[in-house]
Structure 1
Amino acid sequence: MDSGVIEGGLNVTLTIRLLMHGKEVGSIIGKKGESVKKMREESGARINISEGNCPERIITLAGPTTAIFKAFSMIIEKLEEDISSSMSNSTATSKPPVTLRIVVPASQCGSLIGKGGCKIKEIRESTGAQVQVAGDMLPNSTERAITIAGTPLSIIECVKQICVVMLESPPKGVTIPYRPKPSGSPVIFAGGQAYAVQGQHAIPQPDLTKLHQLAMQQSPFPLAPSSQGFTAGMDASAQTGSHELTIPNDLIGCIIGRQGAKINEIRQMSGAQIKIANPVEGSSDRQVTITGSPASISLAEYLINARLSSEATGMAAN
C-alpha cells in the first residue's frame, strides 16, 4: 500500500491500543517521563498509559493518523533500541524481531482474517510481518490481542493495513475494553466499597465493588452491615464459615482454568479459600468447599456461578 492512501484517504482520527509488559512500558515512559513526553510533543498524538501496578499495561494512541503513526514508529524504534542494547550484553548471534501486541474488538477480527484467512495472508505477504490473531478474548473483555513481529518498518506497514481494515468495518455491538489486572494485591471490602491494597494505600476498585454488591444481593447469608469491612483472608474478627457446592465433573475445568489460573483469580478476588475435592469413583460431580468470611464466601460463590453460566452460554464464544 503506498503511503498516499494513508496520508490522503485515511487522515481521520484513530485510536490504537497496544498491550505491553511493564518492563517495556518503563523504557517508553523513560526517566521521569522524559521519553513519553518527547513522543507526545514530536508526534502530536495523545499517548495514554494505563495505571502502573499491573504486569501488563495498555498504551492508547489517539489522534489524526499522521500523528498516530509518528508516535507508533517512535515506540517501535524504542523497542528496537532495547533489543539492540540487550544484544550487546548477550552471546546470541541472531537478533530477535520486534514483537508487539495490539488490542482490537473481537467483532472486527473476522474482517481482519478475511474469508478462509485471505485478508490476513495478504497483510502478511505484503508487509513481511508475522501476524497472529488470538483465538480467545482477553479476560473480562470483548477484545482480542493481535501479535505482530518483524522489522520496525514491516510492523508499521502492517499496523497501517490493519487500521485500514478496521476503519472500513467498524466494531459491532458493545465493546468491553480489556483492563489489565493488578498483580496479586490483596482486596479489602469496607463500607460496601472494594479496595485493592497497594503498599501503604487502599485504592478503590469500582469493578470489584460492583461484583461485591451483586454478590451481596444474591447472598444466601444474612449479612450485618459492617463498618470494619471484610478483609481478604486476613481479618480474623470477621466470623469464618464454610459453604459447599457440587459442580459437574465436565464443568470443573472452566472453574480451575489453565494451570489453575481461574481458581486462583477467584480466590484472589473473593479472599475465600476454595478447595476442590478429588473425583469420587462412580460420581459425575465434584465437591467444592469455600471457606472464609460470609462476604468472601458469597463473592466466591457468585464468581463461580458467573463462570459456570458464561461457560454454559458461551461454549462457542469462549
Structure 2
Amino acid sequence: IALDKLNGFLMENYALKVSYIPDETAAEDAPAMGGRRGFNSRGPPRQGSPNLGARPKLQSDVPLRMLVPTQFVGAIIGKEGATIRNITKQTHSKIDIHRKENAGAAEKPITVHSTPEGCSSACRNIMEIMQKEAIDTKITEEIPLKILAHNNFVGRLIGKEGRNLKKIEQDTDTKITISPLQDLTLYNPERTITVKGTLEACAKAEEEIMKKIRESYENDVAAMHLQSNLIPGLNLNALGIFPGAASGGMSPSVVSGPPAGAQSFGPQVESETVHLFIPALAVGAIIGKQGQHIKQLSRFAGASIKIAPADELDTKQRMVIITGPPEAQFKAQGRIFGKLKEENFFGPKEEVKLEAHIKVPSFAAGRVIGKGGKTVNELQNLTSAEVVVPRDQTPDENDEVVVKITGHFYASQLAQRKIQEIISQVRRQQQPKASAAGPPVARRK
C-alpha cells in the first residue's frame, strides 16, 4: 500500500520513484521496517526529517564495532552459542562475530546492530564476560575497550584542539587513545579508539563516544539530503562517507548530471563565484594535456572554470575561479576534490580538505556572523567546516567582503549553501524597504 501511494507522489516538483529491495542481512527487521535498504538507497533520512516521515527506529544507523582479544571469543560465544544468544535476546540486538577475518590475528571485530541503548547494553555484557574470563585464566594485564570508528567521523569526535575527547575523558574518568592515520588503508578506513578505565567508566565512555559518532553521521546524512534536493540524479552512494561503504575512500568525483528534462530545484538560479584553493602542484592535473581536462570539466559542470595566475606571496596554493549556479558549483567542485584524491595529492590516508572563498555583500556579513558569533558557530557545528569572516576587512569596490570556508567536500558545500541562503534572506528583507522608501529626498541636518 505504501509503495502504491508513494510511487508518482509529487514532492518539491519531482515525482517519487520507490522500489522495495529485500536486504538479507536485515531479514529479521524487514517486515517491521519495510526493507531498510530499498528506502535507504541515498542514505537514511534523519529521524523526523521534513516530508519524509519518521520510520520506526528499531535499529541505529551506525552499528557499534568492537575489537576483542581472540582468546576471549570462545567465552563470548559460549557453549553451542548459548552466551551470545542470551546477549542478543536481552539487548534486542543482532551481533556478528567476525571470527574468520584476519586469520591468526590477536584481535577479532564484533559488530552490534541495535538501538544506541541496545548497543551499549551489549557492549557492557561483552566487557563483563572478558573481565570474568581474564580473572578465571589469571590474565593480569588490563583489558581495554576498543571501538572501531570510520575515519570520517574521528576528527569530529576528537574536536578542535582535542576538546571533545578531553571532555569525555574527564566526564567518564577514562584514558582514551586513537590509532594514527598511518594505520589506515584503502580497504580499512576505520580507526581504533582504545578506552582504559574501570568497567563502569568504559561503559559510560562508549555511550559518549558513540553518541558523538552518530551525531557526525546524522549531520553528513543531512548534508547529503540537502544536496540531493538541489541536484537530482546525483550518485550520493559513491561518496564513501557511510560506515561500510565500498572502500570508505571513494571520492565525490562520481557524480551524474540531472535527468533529462529535470528542472533545477528552488528559486536559486543566480550565478555564483567561488574561489577554490588547490595545491600549486595540482594545477597541471586540473588543466590536463593541452587544457583538455579543464574544458571537459567546464562542459560537464556547466560552469566557467579558470586558474588564476600564481601569487608571489603564496607559492604553495593556486586559486581556481568557478562561476556558475549552485548545481554547477557542486559538480565542478566535486570533480576537483575527486581529481586531487585520484591523483594522490592527498593520499589514501588523508581527507581532502580545501579552502574556498565566497564574497558576501558587506551589509549581510553581520548576519553571517550573528550576534556574538552565534550564527557562524552554528554554521561550523552543522557543517563541520571552518567558517571565518574576518572582522577587520575593508569592503572591495563592489562593497563585498570575503568569507573563508575550509573543510571536506560536503562540509564546504553545505556551508556555501547556508551562507547563500542568509544572503538571499537579507536581500529579500531589504527589497520592501527600498521600494517603500520611494524616491530619495533631501535629508534634514
TM-score, normalised on structure 2? 0.36
Larger Rg: 1 or 2?
Answer: 2
> Quick check: which one's strand share is greater?
1
Question: Looking at both structures, which has the greater relative contact order when contacts are Cα pairs under 8 Å and sequence separation is at least 6?
Answer: 1
